[in-house]
Structure 1
């Protein structure tokens, strides 16, 4: 919270720019670059997308969502790092195993998975969004196998396997002493109580949601830009604040049409509490790539896939922003080596602006421990 409060203020320092033509002066303050900051993540998403353009294939893309039941979400909140990681592993293994089955697609697929932990009202609702190309590489590696135009994999089969894999992994974590329980969940430390807690969710149907393919690579990029670096709430959803209460727009997914959209008002303390529910553990990667979208020879492999698909490919045109960022992968954060953005033209005469003075930070220490990047380099 401290990092977000101080973002682009004198507390973090900055610089003074001056116009060579008319003498206009402008003060620019530094960003906190915290991955939970709504103001900073817009620019980070644009930078991240520059890399993702090179990975797009000339095929349809599907959007698949894996969600944890409410009974499991409570356990996940008290054990974020291990249970969120299990959510990634179980959902990805479900997709890759069913896709490799000759009865379904019979191919090795690639996918990008993004963790979200919130619902529209900022309640705790952990789920993984996946972007999946419509097809994969044949087992012998010699051809591309396309999915059906509007169908990737059967969602009921995905849901049943996801439930089994996740619950097996959760029981193994409990048996290995990797889970901690506090407050109203303290009794779940007992194996028998934990088994009773899981009994109802073993009988429930775990729903996996799959959207139809995107309408072309531009739509894939537009989706990625909205979802990859999203935080629990953006500033544009907040409609009012009177010093004590915050009003913001929410969406009720159980309703259709105009009734789905409404506003919600919370006390400021409750609003901040809900926002902080979604702070990720330090070093946790919320964006991960799998299958043919990862590995040391990824770029060469994707070029080979394009040749196997046999369709012409032109990268979507878009403006690239500059500035340091990092790419979150399944294994590491890779800082990009980019130079600082050039000063914007003078708002008065359009002339060139240049930096005249560096303003030191008023805070000697980091504003927040969560501002530190996962494994070094710029914050994602």
Structure 2
């Protein structure tokens, strides 16, 4: 029988230990040939049994998982103000930490000292930064208000940048709420080991090499929390202070639909959906992933045209809209008629009635109020 590499006085019953300990320190992986402790071996059967044993969640694991999530929610309430929380659900297996050192070659990320699966805040930031940069490029049906300046202000500069700048956003670690009583074991079977190891030229008759690894099953709930230091975004009435939540929601939607979180996202792992978006009317259609929005009328707004940046914003009191750019901006400015030339010359046009689309705390210019259909 395979045993763990632990002192004899600990015994071999680790059913009450956390999954992280059963996957690591207490992994029952080692066979003793003829009872000789000097010649420990790892058999293929031992690998499978060890993983199945490690993926079980006992009552204590599930209670701790729930308690830690509740504690995070309580801390979020105490933090107050500048927070954004997104409730998501995995629609594909989720895995992370495969590169961690482990006797089975594929590791897994458990949060110490609790020994529960988690998604690190640094990983969340990386995915959302990539989503924001893709949206800012304008190649995904509109930038949703993102541009290079917003990416820099919210996420900070890259490590190799000449001038380093801290971003305004902080991303909390997430402990997924795993459905059922176990993690799952997935298998990948590469067929080209003969070529990758330099033994033969590539061909299609290579023997498969099954490699197992742990995953969090679909249906797991992820509670994302993002904190913003709005002091780093400028004055309280600045555009980013008013719009950062809307921008980040758009980045989350893009990441859920196209990028995924964790490892092996290129083959479909880590895909998620926004639970709140799925519960809105129209869920299940192509528009279900879009943010819910309301329409407001600004009766005496000021239009601000920035020729250098090629963008148009609207301002009412201390609220500034997200920028309108490209063809959408040209179409809207054409609808101004004679006022189009005045706006382009002076850079400002006052007392304009606008129909605005509100998404969270973000406002987008929709149309002239007197030209909009009810």
Give the TM interval when normalised to the shorter protein: under 0.3
Greater helix percent: which structure? 1
What is the TM-score normalised by the length of structure 2? 0.22
Structure exhibiting the larger radius of gyration computed from Cα positions: 2
Structure ranking higher on relative contact order (CA contacts 8 Å, 6+ apart): 1
